[in-house]
């Protein structure tokens, strides 16, 4: 069973040792070469970000490959704060090594202990062309070759999981918050839930997808009537 997560837009510098180079590093270098030609003003406009952030992104491009940080400790969004890799024990980390990938607009697929540079390139960005076309065959071929018999557990957002084709054995985990107004998906809550679910699966060493249904945390429980073979729905009363 292989877990898939989205990256985050925010990073922290990690002092933890990174052991590997991203598998698609040559392709990443090619994308960075294309990105380096853009000025901060152009990046601000094309990526629809603030002027200050655009300056940071230009710096990311210039420093790419010079400063690397261990991926699983470096992503710092809601999902990764909930996942809390720093609190995992060595047995957890050994299991994590072979059971999780992060889908990335710049790196394609990131393994937990890959050394990555800070970056800003969402999969839906078109500044260097259609990234779904660029990464689609590469990512799907890799997963078929390396994990032909594994079930993929999709904890990534639609923006990132969209790059995956229909030939995989894949189960998507969806999270909803239920109130008097009905079911909603509140972004920050969903991201946190994805991180907590990934952590629960890693900590429990789950290999049988059906056992995921038994997981509960922070008020989330599996909802059978809204679920299917390809989608497990978890709902929290708010």
**What pLDDT shows up at residue 191?**
98
Residue 174 has, within 13 A of its CA and on its CB side, a CA count of 18
What sign does the CA torsion over 66, 30, 157, 125 have?
positive
In the predicted model, residues of the chain with pLDDT beneath 70 are none
Token representation of residue 49: 């970000």
Look up the domain containing 93 and give its range: 2-237
* Residues pairing with 152 in the sheet: 2, 170
**What pLDDT shows up at residue 19?**
76
Token representation of residue 199: 């952590």
**What pLDDT shows up at residue 17?**
73
Q: List the Cα angle 201/206/208 in 5-degree steps.
A: 130
Please state the separation of Cα 51 from the chain's center in Å.
Answer: 26
**What pLDDT shows up at residue 145?**
96
pTM of the model: 0.96
Report the C-alpha dihedral over residues 12, 18, 21, 22, rounded to 10 degrees. -40
The answer to whether residues 217 and 196 touch, using CB atoms and an 8 Å cutoff, is yes
**What pLDDT shows up at residue 16?**
73
Neighbours of 61 (CB within 10 A): 21
Token representation of residue 75: 């992503």
Q: How far is CA 208 from CA 2, 4, 95, 100, 214, in A?
A: 11, 16, 15, 15, 11
**What pLDDT shows up at residue 67?**
87
Phi then psi for residue 219, to 5 deg, are 90, -5
In whole angstroms, what is the distance from residue 56 CA to residue 63 CA?
10
Phi then psi for residue 137, to 5 deg, are -65, -40
* Residues pairing with 108 in the sheet: 104
**What pLDDT shows up at residue 15?**
77
The alpha-helical segments, DSSP class H, found in 127-230 are: 131-146, 158-161, 187-204
Tally of domains within the chain? 1
**What pLDDT shows up at residue 173?**
99
Q: What one-character DSSP code corresponds to residue 209?
A: G
């Amino acid at each position: 069973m292989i877990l898939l997560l989205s990256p985050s837009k925010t990073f922290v510098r990690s002092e933890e040792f990174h052991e590997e180079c991203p598998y698609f590093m040559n392709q990443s270098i090619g994308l960075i070469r294309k990105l380096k030609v853009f000025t901060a003003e152009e990046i601000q406009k094309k990526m629809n970000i603030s002027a200050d952030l655009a300056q940071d992104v230009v710096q990311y491009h210039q420093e790419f490959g010079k400063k690397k940080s261990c991926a699983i400790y470096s992503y710092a969004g809601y999902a990764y704060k909930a996942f809390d890799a720093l609190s995992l024990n060595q047995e957890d980390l050994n299991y994590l090594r072979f059971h999780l990938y992060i889908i990335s607009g710049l790196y394609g697929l990131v393994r937990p202990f890959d050394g990555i540079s800070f970056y800003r390139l969402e999969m839906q960005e078109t500044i260097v062309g259609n990234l779904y076309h660029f990464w689609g065959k590469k990512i799907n071929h890799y997963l078929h070759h390396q994990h032909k018999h594994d079930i993929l557990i999709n904890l990534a957002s639609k923006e990132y999981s969209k790059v995956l084709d229909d030939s995989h054995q894949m189960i998507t985990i969806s999270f909803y918050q239920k109130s008097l107004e009905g079911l909603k998906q509140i972004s920050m809550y969903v991201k946190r839930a994805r991180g907590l679910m990934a952590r629960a699966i890693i900590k429990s060493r789950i290999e049988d997808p059906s056992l995921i249904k038994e997981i509960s945390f922070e008020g989330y429980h599996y909802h059978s009537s809204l679920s299917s073979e390809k989608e497990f729905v978890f709902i929290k009363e708010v």
